[in-house]
Structure 1
Amino acid sequence: MKMIKYIIKIITVFTIFTMASCSEDTIDLEGLGAVRGSVVAIGTNEPLENVKISTNPSTSTVFTDANGEYLIENIPSGDYSLSAQKEGLLAQFEGITVIADRELEIVFEMDIETAGNRPPDAAILDTPADNSIDQPLEVDLVWTGTDPDDDDTLTYTIILRNDENSEVAIFENITDTTYTLTNLSYKVKYFWQVTSSDGINDPVNSSIFAFETMSPPNNRIVYTRSVNGNSVIFSANEQGGTEIQLTSETKNSFRPRRHVGTGKIAFLQSVGSQTHLFIMNEDGSQMRQVTSQVSVAGFNLGEIDFSWSDNGSKLLFPNQDKLYSINADGSGLALIYQTANGNLISEVDQNDNNNIIVLKTNNLDGYEVEIFTINTSGTLLEMVLSGATGAAGSVNLSIDGTKLLYSQDVSGFESSDYRQLDSHLFIYDFDDSSIIDISIEKPPGTNDLDARFSPNEASVIFVNTSNDGISQKNIQMMSVVEIANRADLITDASMVDWE
């Protein structure tokens, strides 16, 4: 029995000793050693200050000085894991053996925390498909973006070029994988590329895709509308639909005149304190200034008009009492006529078929109007209107030059603000000097203004508005035969042209 109790005691003591030895790491207490060293940036060997240096099992913790150096003393001898840690840098670990009464030297090279981060994959462009055609002027770009590091957040940049000019549009800080392009131009080929960035590595470019926008609609009518205080040019079809804004609302652009043969639209635009002739394509692209040395000027810029030559190679325009010709490319400026009485030239229309030019002149107040024709040498051919009181204008020759459309305020009213009370439209026949009033059925209290023959000359297009001078202007159309049948075509618009 005593022998059994003795054996049990031996087993118990052995078990307790074994459990104690397995419960935690032990440190050899035979002596003390030290570890010193330095911490530098990988690649540059620049000393790193304030790096935390510690051991596991724990002894003491120190931080590197301005020279990147550290020293840990009085470390019990044994095996340790020595670590170097600093925010923004990858932690480094080194296995060491501390020997009593000796100093161990360890140098750490540390890299930025994202050193192991991988760049994003190149974005895969989805839609529009490469070389797509007939795209609308508002296009949704869609792509797929991925990154091998799941924790990374990607942002995208779209680079957009075109085959019309050297402009490069850049859209940055996009977080979605879709982006809508707006206000694209008709019949232009665009090239787009997506750049992916994880904010760590260099951005990665996708391949380049191309797409082409649709052809512009056949808009034969051009006109202006006030937008944010500026006159803006628009176009529409013969039903007043498919309206397109052609000029910017940040510019004052007015009096559009379309030339079918060249596919160009000439117009006036404010340039500082002056007004100059400009030309653009029928979709509003490739805008350029024509006049520079001599501006377009007269008594009232809202009443000023100019004319294309029939072949579209030249433009005629007034400057005070002078009439100039200029090539459509801006060259060849020439004075071709000057009034003898000093009156101002406000309107001009030209017909190359019979070499006649019709002019409207007036005094500084817009009155004492004369409407007459000259030849290309400046010789007076025929006086159409003279000696009448009140305002007149809107001169437009027929295609064969035998008829002239114009407006006249039959009330004869004159005022400092150039208000008109009862403006009618007339057609003058050069063959027999007859005049037809086609506005006798217009609503009372309104004015018919800015008239133009339709392309087939079976009707006229014009602006009708209240004679109060402040009401909305509307573009109307009526037959030259059935003059009682007039119809609104485009509301809130003026300065119409139909070619």
Structure 2
Amino acid sequence: MKNYILNCFLAVCIMFVVTSCSEEPIDENVFGTLTGKVVTNGENTPLTNVKISSSPVSTTVFTDDLGNFTIENIQIGEYSFQAELTEYQTAFEAVNIIEGKTTNVVFELNTDDANNVAPIVSVLKFPEDGAEDVNTQVQFSWSSAKNDDDEINYTLELRNGSTSEVTTYNEIKDTTFLVDNLAVGNNYIWQISADDGVNDVVKSELGGFVTSGIDANRFLYVRELDGNNVIFSGANPIGESDEELDQNEVQLTSATLNSYRPIKNTTVNKIAFLRTVGAETHIFTMNINGTDIKQVTSTVPVAGFRQDEIEFTWYNNGAKLYYTNFNKLYSINVDGSGIEEVYHAGSLFISEVAVNPTNNLVVIKTNNIDGYNAKISVVNVATDAEVEVVISGESGALGGLDFSADGTKVLYTRDMSAAENTAYRQLDSRIFEYDLSSNTTTEIDTDKASGTNDLDAKYSPDDGSIIFVNTSNDGVSEKRIYKTEEVNAVNKKKPLFTNAFMPNWE
């Protein structure tokens, strides 16, 4: 009896379970539809060919020309749909698909750069707005416009205030840029633009400056162009790198004529120089800007054993000039009149001459036809007397003659190698100073490198330093102009001009 009852109970339970399962079936064939549109955020411009997909995965479709799309027969349930298009940020929308219903969704897409930050406005640093006497070689500088990880390309626009010509320098990666050969004594306007490739270009405020005039150029020198010597004027460097030398350069003479050995006289504000005229060399004068060129000598030319070794000088407050013609020293008025022989050196050539403003003494260098057997002496041309011998009887070349402003010291160069050759090649030329009051000679330490020559030494206007040329003794390498500068009681040489020689500093 008990077994019968248990069997009946189990049968009832089984029937209940079967009945329950048949009442709640899982229908996998229940679907809904999704429609939608994709537009740009803000402007609501329809976007075509946008990829529409979902998670969990359903059918993938693309929008039409009006930005619309439709996905049918999507199994009911919760989905995350996404809209993807190149150059736009992917957008996501949660969607509930309902049986037999059509659900609609709108995607608003932002461009990839929608959250990008524009560059900040650069602040012009150098030259400052309103700056004057700016060198013609300018290292422009400005503050960074960087505001995020985007690379910034800068553009420098430079307008010449005289000609209104605009020069544009593009694709600058740094916040500094070097521009050289600006016009002397000119007004310029400049502006910096910053472009991150995403946002609109950002422009700085305008800045203006004026370059130095030629009056600021204290130096004269010579550079070879197209086979001729050409005279330039220039200003102090802004640093010691090659890019910071050759400041405010102005070419004063034509590259089609051979002009050299410039000497300025500040009293008459004129430059005297040598120029080749046919087979002869003559003295000319010009204004400090290279205008009003006039020939001084005519009947008696400048002549000696080597024309590039000959020096002349102003005297009598710029009213007269001393110059040499082989073994004779001549005086001539600056207008070319009053030529007069004032000193005779016998069988030796007079190659160099220097004076001082304190007394009437003249220092000369004499040498033989080959440039050797050289002697430097102080003479009184009024009495035709040799007052003092600075140096003589030494082998090798002498040169670079100058007289101190107070008339007590003589500057010169001497080739310590004592080499004598037909090419007049010097191997170890150094600078010396002779003190007339103590009759002592001192070598000027210029930190000269071995295998180089110091040449064409001249005093500064205040005698406080020396300007000179240094070059390799190979005779073909570049010549550079330096000046001595005392640093912590040690003489150092400071570069001034590249590829230059025959310096004059007034």
Q: Aligning the two structures, in what range does the TM-score lie when normalised by the shorter sequence?
A: 0.5 to 0.7
Aligned partner of 2:423: which letter? D
In structure 2, do the counterparts of structure 1 residues 359 and 404 end up closer, same or farther at CA, with 3 Å as the change threshold?
same
Residue 130 of structure 1: aligned partner: none
Cα offset for 1:140?
A: 3.0
Cα offset for 1:375?
A: 1.0
The equivalent position to 1:459 in structure 2, one of 458, 465, 478, is 465
Cα offset for 1:311?
A: 0.4
Alignment check: 8 A CA contact 2:363 2:378 kept = yes
Residue 140 of structure 1: aligned partner: 163
Q: Does 1:372 align with 2:377?
A: yes
The equivalent position to 2:250 in structure 1, one of 231, 244, 251, is 244
- SS of the residue aligned with 1:242? strand
Q: Does 1:435 align with 2:433?
A: no
Residue 348 of structure 1: aligned partner: 353
In structure 2, do the counterparts of structure 1 residues 483 and 375 end up closer, same or farther at CA, with 3 Å as the change threshold?
farther
In structure 1, distance between residues paired with 2:280 and 2:328: 16
In structure 2, do the counterparts of structure 1 residues 138 and 428 end up closer, same or farther at CA, with 3 Å as the change threshold?
farther
- SS of the residue aligned with 1:485? strand
- SS of the residue aligned with 2:214? coil
In structure 1, distance between residues paired with 2:185 and 2:291: 9
Number of positions where the alignment pairs a residue of Structure 1 with one of Structure 2: 299
Residue 226 of structure 1: aligned partner: 224
Larger displacement relative to structure 2 (213-222 or 457-466): 213-222
Aligned partner of 2:228: which letter? N
The equivalent position to 1:495 in structure 2, one of 466, 479, 502, is 502
Cα offset for 1:261?
A: 1.1
In structure 2, do the counterparts of structure 1 residues 370 and 414 end up closer, same or farther at CA, with 3 Å as the change threshold?
same
In structure 2, distance between residues paired with 1:416 and 1:279: 33
In structure 2, do the counterparts of structure 1 residues 185 and 272 end up closer, same or farther at CA, with 3 Å as the change threshold?
farther
Residue 302 of structure 1: aligned partner: 308
In structure 2, do the counterparts of structure 1 residues 227 and 461 end up closer, same or farther at CA, with 3 Å as the change threshold?
same
Alignment check: 8 A CA contact 1:388 1:412 kept = yes
Cα offset for 1:216?
A: 2.8
In structure 2, distance between residues paired with 1:374 and 1:258: 23
Aligned partner of 2:497: which letter? I
Q: Does 1:333 align with 2:339?
A: yes
Aligned partner of 1:219: which letter? N
Residue 233 of structure 2: aligned partner: 235
Cα offset for 1:351?
A: 2.0
Alignment check: 8 A CA contact 2:486 2:492 kept = no
Aligned partner of 2:378: which letter? T
Alignment check: 8 A CA contact 1:454 1:461 kept = yes
RMSD of equivalent CA atoms? 2.4
Alignment check: 8 A CA contact 2:397 2:415 kept = yes
Alignment check: 8 A CA contact 1:186 1:283 kept = no
Cα offset for 1:137?
A: 9.5
- SS of the residue aligned with 1:387? coil
In structure 2, do the counterparts of structure 1 residues 238 and 310 end up closer, same or farther at CA, with 3 Å as the change threshold?
farther
Matches within 5 A, 1:166-315: 216-239=214-237, 240-315=246-321
Cα offset for 1:138?
A: 9.0
Alignment check: 8 A CA contact 2:470 2:482 kept = yes
- Which runs of at least 4 in structure 1 moved beyond 2 Å after TM superposition? 136-142, 182-187, 213-217, 479-484
In structure 1, distance between residues paired with 2:161 and 2:367: 47
In structure 1, distance between residues paired with 2:281 and 2:160: 31
Structure 1 unaligned regions, length at least 5? 1-135, 143-181, 188-212
Cα offset for 1:422?
A: 0.2
* TM-score normalised per structure 1: 0.57
Post-superposition Cα deviations, 1:168-215, rounded to whole Å, max 9, x if no partner, equal xxxxxxxxxxxxxx999989xxxxxxxxxxxxxxxxxxxxxxxxx995
In structure 2, distance between residues paired with 1:186 and 1:299: 41
Over the matched positions of the two proteins, sequence identity in percent amounts to 46
Cα offset for 1:139?
A: 4.5
Q: Does 1:318 align with 2:324?
A: yes
Residue 357 of structure 1: aligned partner: 362
Aligned partner of 2:223: which letter? R
Structure 2 unaligned regions, length at least 5? 1-158, 166-180, 187-210, 238-245
In structure 2, do the counterparts of structure 1 residues 416 and 439 end up closer, same or farther at CA, with 3 Å as the change threshold?
farther
In structure 1, distance between residues paired with 2:472 and 2:417: 14
* TM-score normalised per structure 2: 0.56
Cα offset for 1:496?
A: 0.2
Matches within 5 A, 1:41-190: 139-140=162-163
Residue 468 of structure 1: aligned partner: 474
Aligned partner of 2:500: which letter? A
Cα offset for 1:286?
A: 0.5
- SS of the residue aligned with 2:216? coil
Aligned partner of 1:230: which letter? N
In structure 2, do the counterparts of structure 1 residues 480 and 403 end up closer, same or farther at CA, with 3 Å as the change threshold?
farther
